[in-house]
Structure 1
Amino acid sequence: MSDLNETIRSLYTALIDADSRAEIHRSVCQALTTIDRVDAAWIGTVDHDRNVVEPAAQAHLPPEFLDDQSFSLADDRPAPEAQVADERTVVDVDRIPVGVHEEPWRNTALIHGFRSVVAVPIRHEELFYGTLTVYSTETDALDERTTRLLEEFGTLVGFVTNAVERRDAFGDDQMVDLTVDVEPGEEDVCVALASRLETTVEVGNVTRRNRNSHVLHCSIDDVDPGTVTDVVAEIPGLESIRPLSESASTAYELVVVDQCVASRAVPISALLRSIRVTPTNCQIVFSVPEYRDYQRFLEQVRDVFSAATLVAKRQASEAGSVPVPELLEASLSEKQDEALRTAYHSGYFDDDRKRTGAEIATSLGIAQPTFSKRLRSAQRDLLAAILESDSL
């Protein structure tokens, strides 16, 4: 147990500094095989066209094992890796020899000397990145506590993978805008709001308030503000609506409890451009690097939503000498970014300031001095990045 904890601690820093998914996969497999009674480890990703788990990296597996074993999700008695990919749950087999005649994968594992296996999903929130599997040549090799730690490790690897992909999405010069139709479900707060008001809801900003709620800044056109605020009690999960403007294209701040289409879209490894929700349709525009595998990206969106259809693709508009998303990502902490974006979308910087710092702090669930400190430091760091840039 102690060596597993030590492995996870030592890997954390290395994973955060990883430059690619391939580097993450290699580091993980090599590290796990240093743990007592773990004889081999491998990471697989799902090929959705063939419906199989394919190897991405491995350490200490026999040369023929991956070729001899079937990892098809369509098998009647699928291997642990395929079970994880299909059900997104942990598979722990203490004694591979038991039931060897009923499940072909057990026989293949035995031929190569393995007696126990644990397979866990690699995931971040609703996103699924693949499978992480460790094998042992001993039966009952990994106890329940170790299995739980491996599951947590799969979540850690998923988090780091997401961070690397999001960094790449924000930092690439050649970007493509992908317009995707999704189906968040009729009970989604944004869908319910658009349906009740019979209008379009456009989300311009999403900020996590705490673990269970988010602040959304939206545009709701051609509806009387009183009508908008009156629907709060009718929509489960909608805590409050506050108008921020009295113009024809009215801006609102929504506090949403639990998840909605906007908050669910944020972890997807892409730059979120816009979310447009009508009573009959929900459309999201993502920006991704031009080299991105679009089909694989759509599968990631489908991990979050029940269906996703690519309806448009176009070259993103040319950025300036310093790409704004990259500048924000590189210059500001997550808390600074939240404070700056929320202040902007709340009308804090308008000539006729629509909200005070105290009001915005309340929306974010923090103290007013904390908000002011984060906002000032965000402005300072962003200005420093702009004014000290060699490219200007």
Structure 2
Amino acid sequence: MASLATAADSATRTTVLYVGERTAVVSAAAELFDADLRNADASRRAALDRMDADVDCLVVDASLPDGRGVDLLAAVRRTYPELAGVVLVESGPVPEIGSKPPTDYVRVADGAEPLATRIRNVLSRRAPTGGLADHLFDSAVRNGPDAVVVVDDRTEIRFANEAVADVFGYDPAAVVGSPVTDLVPTERREPFLEAFARHVVDGSVGEWTQVRGRGRHRNGRDIPLSLSFHHGRYEGGRLFTAIVREESERRDREATLERQRDELAELDRINRLIREVAHVLIDATSRSEMEQAVCDLLADSGPYAFAWIGRENLARNRVIPRFEAGAAEGYLDAVSDSDYDTLSDGGPAAQAVIDRSVTVVDDVGTDERFEPWREDALDRGLRSVATVPVQYEETVLGVLALYEEEVGAFDEREAAVLEEVGRLIGYAMTAVDRKEALVADDRTELEFRLTDDDHFFTGVTAGTDVEVTFEGMTPRTEESDLVYATVRGGSPEAIRDAAADAAVVEDATALGEHEDGVGFEFTTTDDTVAATLASYGASVVSMRAADGSARIVAELPATADVRSVVEAVTAEFDGMELLAQRDRQRTEARDGGGPGLWRADLLGSLTERQRTVLETAYRSGYFQWPRERTAEEVADSLGITSPTLHNHLRLAQGELFGALFEGD
């Protein structure tokens, strides 16, 4: 290939003329891409004297002794209109340089490498120069998808476009000046030259002619080609133009078109799936109806073989399936004997919950994560799985599991779409939960056991016959609360002494003795169990401490992020353990006067401060007869004045009595 190398050396050599005083930088840039550099004095006359048609790019300082560099560039272009140019800027604003002919600038401080890059860029953007290029080529030919080769009547390649690199493996500039036979297989060169000579003599290729043949790639392999030939005359000679397309490329393009058609069909299927999911979600009136409808859509009448949807139960450390649909009859019953997807075993459903992202099992038969359920799945023809977190913002509401009967059914695009489907379902679930909350009180109930002696209630009962029952809590300040409890089995003095030693108790006041024990008001910091639960939207339903252990039942809205609450309180309090997680539904008919709704309506009419003052007064015995605490004592507990207390109580009572006697 010596002929190609020699031609490449001459064809790719670039000549740069520099006018200015930064010769060292420009010389270094020219060396980076092996260009010939001409230097001229930093004057307009010297530049014009050194300029000729061999110069490919003019580099000028922005400021010259006798004028501006851009003005010099413009003057030279009156003679050489397609000349590429680069302006060297020392400091200050960049001059207006335009973009046609190709022009760019670079700051001197950037150095040689950026300058070399800018020179290459403007040269690559340069329009073809000279009569031959103007006669034959435009940018579409130079950058088109098909290889274009122009050969003169001596078989020398005069032009090759960028696509020649794709078809033959050569740099287009390297083949210019070489014989075209370098692109022909060795055994076919002689017949090719004979045919070419006939065309030169008789001009028999006057019109575009389609032929098939074989070419030679740079790596030596033969290439099946489809060629279109044409000939013309230029400067007294003959030029032959060939448009060359690799046959394998044609097949690749057909395969690409087929793949694109398949992708469009898949995209249409996915869009249709999302629309159908949205439709069933809109029609559903409850979460349960929604969950079953989604399974039916995706499996019974949809694209998947089997589907189930479930929820996380932290107390049982499992994902519990709730609804299912599809052809895998008995699958969930079969796997229910095992701990289906315990949150610690790394199974696909658990992983979707923990990672909050779609988990894919490409092959049930080989993926170790699916080993506990493999046999039951394979018996029913299930070969791949995708588990999808059903989530609203950062809260995971459940898991949707989808199964297919072929290996690798869930690619990255499908997984991304399913993640959006999971979010769509989560959004709809949250909306329907909020709607149901207007007519029902759906709650998640959490039961904990606490054995932390540092907690006041458990600590005061450890090793004694004291029992403490939590009665309620009201906020006092941003950093303290009033906690009300009934204490049995201990003297008030002993309880006050224990409270004085407790880090979370700031004050303890005995309110009065009852059948169940002595009522106490404890002023506490916000580091108690009840306060921590309240900060996550949970309320303590009951808490009873005895023998150094406490049982705590708390309630959350059904839409709450149970995992975040459990993780927070178990991390905050040593010895805190989740025992149970239960769904509760206490629907009350409004027309029937259900107490749940009446209570919510009445309390909802109060401001937060009115409710706090009213509950504090009630729990501290202000409304007892005889009163266990005076208004001044209640006000002191809350850190407010007595008149302020009376004002809040009067307003709160007015709201309650108005709702009771005048409301609909």
CA contact (8 A) 2:365 2:374 kept: yes
From 52, 60, 64, the counterpart of 2:327: 64
Taking a change above 3 Å as real, the CA distance of residues 343 and 41 of structure 1, as seen in their structure-2 partners, is farther
Taking a change above 3 Å as real, the CA distance of residues 379 and 131 of structure 1, as seen in their structure-2 partners, is same
From 86, 89, 96, the counterpart of 2:361: 96
**How far is the alpha carbon of 1:41 from its aligned partner?**
7.2
CA distance in 1, matches of 2:648, 2:433: 25
CA distance in 2, matches of 1:140, 1:211: 48
TM-score (norm 2): 0.35
CA distance in 1, matches of 2:355, 2:633: 47
Partner of 1:330: 601
Taking a change above 3 Å as real, the CA distance of residues 331 and 256 of structure 1, as seen in their structure-2 partners, is same
1:80-119 aligned at under 5 Å gives the runs 80-81=348-349, 83=350, 89-90=354-355, 92=357, 94-97=359-362, 100-101=365-366, 102=368, 103-104=370-371, 108=377, 116-119=386-389
Taking a change above 3 Å as real, the CA distance of residues 168 and 51 of structure 1, as seen in their structure-2 partners, is same
**How far is the alpha carbon of 1:47 from its aligned partner?**
9.9
Taking a change above 3 Å as real, the CA distance of residues 90 and 157 of structure 1, as seen in their structure-2 partners, is farther
CA distance in 2, matches of 1:57, 1:64: 14
Partner of 1:44: 310
For residue 387 of structure 1, what is the amino acid of its counterpart?
A: F
Partner of 1:355: 633
Taking a change above 3 Å as real, the CA distance of residues 94 and 223 of structure 1, as seen in their structure-2 partners, is closer
Structure 1 gap segments, 5+ residues each: 171-180, 287-299, 309-320, 363-367
1:140-289 aligned at under 5 Å gives the runs 140-141=412-413, 160=433, 167-168=440-441, 183-187=449-453, 188-195=455-462, 198-207=465-474, 215-221=482-488, 223=490, 225=492, 227-232=494-499, 234-236=501-503, 238-243=504-509, 245=511, 249-255=518-524, 257-260=526-529, 272=541, 275-279=543-547, 282=550
CA contact (8 A) 1:41 1:133 kept: yes
Identity of aligned residues (%): 19
CA contact (8 A) 1:205 1:217 kept: yes
**How far is the alpha carbon of 1:330 from its aligned partner?**
2.6
For residue 64 of structure 1, what is the amino acid of its counterpart?
A: A
CA contact (8 A) 2:357 2:388 kept: yes
**How far is the alpha carbon of 1:266 from its aligned partner?**
12
Taking a change above 3 Å as real, the CA distance of residues 276 and 40 of structure 1, as seen in their structure-2 partners, is same
Higher-Rg structure is 2
CA distance in 2, matches of 1:212, 1:43: 42
Deviations 1:259-285 (A, max 9, x none): 53797699999994x543223564679
CA distance in 2, matches of 1:353, 1:227: 27
**Alignment pair present for 1:385 and 2:648:** no
Structure 2 gap segments, 5+ residues each: 1-270, 404-408, 555-565, 571-575, 581-591
**How far is the alpha carbon of 1:243 from its aligned partner?**
0.7
TM-score (norm 1): 0.53
**How far is the alpha carbon of 1:42 from its aligned partner?**
4.6
CA contact (8 A) 1:94 1:139 kept: no
CA distance in 1, matches of 2:476, 2:365: 51
Taking a change above 3 Å as real, the CA distance of residues 80 and 285 of structure 1, as seen in their structure-2 partners, is closer
CA contact (8 A) 2:484 2:522 kept: yes
For residue 472 of structure 2, what is the amino acid of its counterpart?
A: N
Taking a change above 3 Å as real, the CA distance of residues 271 and 358 of structure 1, as seen in their structure-2 partners, is closer
For residue 200 of structure 1, what is the amino acid of its counterpart?
A: E
**Alignment pair present for 1:22 and 2:285:** no
CA distance in 2, matches of 1:80, 1:211: 43
**How far is the alpha carbon of 1:379 from its aligned partner?**
2.9
CA contact (8 A) 1:116 1:140 kept: no
CA distance in 2, matches of 1:258, 1:202: 18
Taking a change above 3 Å as real, the CA distance of residues 183 and 202 of structure 1, as seen in their structure-2 partners, is same
CA contact (8 A) 1:194 1:200 kept: yes
CA contact (8 A) 1:253 1:346 kept: no
CA distance in 1, matches of 2:294, 2:632: 49
CA contact (8 A) 2:511 2:620 kept: no
CA distance in 1, matches of 2:382, 2:646: 61
Taking a change above 3 Å as real, the CA distance of residues 32 and 230 of structure 1, as seen in their structure-2 partners, is farther
CA distance in 1, matches of 2:536, 2:638: 24
Partner of 1:341: 615
CA contact (8 A) 2:510 2:521 kept: yes
CA contact (8 A) 1:96 1:115 kept: yes
CA contact (8 A) 1:94 1:116 kept: yes
SS in 1 for 2:495: helix
CA distance in 2, matches of 1:40, 1:207: 50
CA distance in 1, matches of 2:488, 2:317: 44
For residue 456 of structure 2, what is the amino acid of its counterpart?
A: V
Taking a change above 3 Å as real, the CA distance of residues 372 and 29 of structure 1, as seen in their structure-2 partners, is farther
**How far is the alpha carbon of 1:332 from its aligned partner?**
1.8
CA distance in 2, matches of 1:212, 1:23: 43
CA distance in 1, matches of 2:508, 2:433: 36
CA contact (8 A) 1:200 1:278 kept: yes
CA distance in 2, matches of 1:234, 1:380: 42
Taking a change above 3 Å as real, the CA distance of residues 229 and 327 of structure 1, as seen in their structure-2 partners, is same
CA contact (8 A) 1:206 1:215 kept: yes
CA distance in 2, matches of 1:223, 1:202: 13
CA distance in 2, matches of 1:243, 1:42: 55
SS in 1 for 2:484: strand
CA distance in 2, matches of 1:268, 1:65: 40
The one of the two structures with greater contact order (alpha-carbon pairs below 8 A, sep at least 6) is 1
**How far is the alpha carbon of 1:120 from its aligned partner?**
6.2
**How far is the alpha carbon of 1:64 from its aligned partner?**
1.9
CA contact (8 A) 1:221 1:250 kept: no
SS in 1 for 2:361: coil
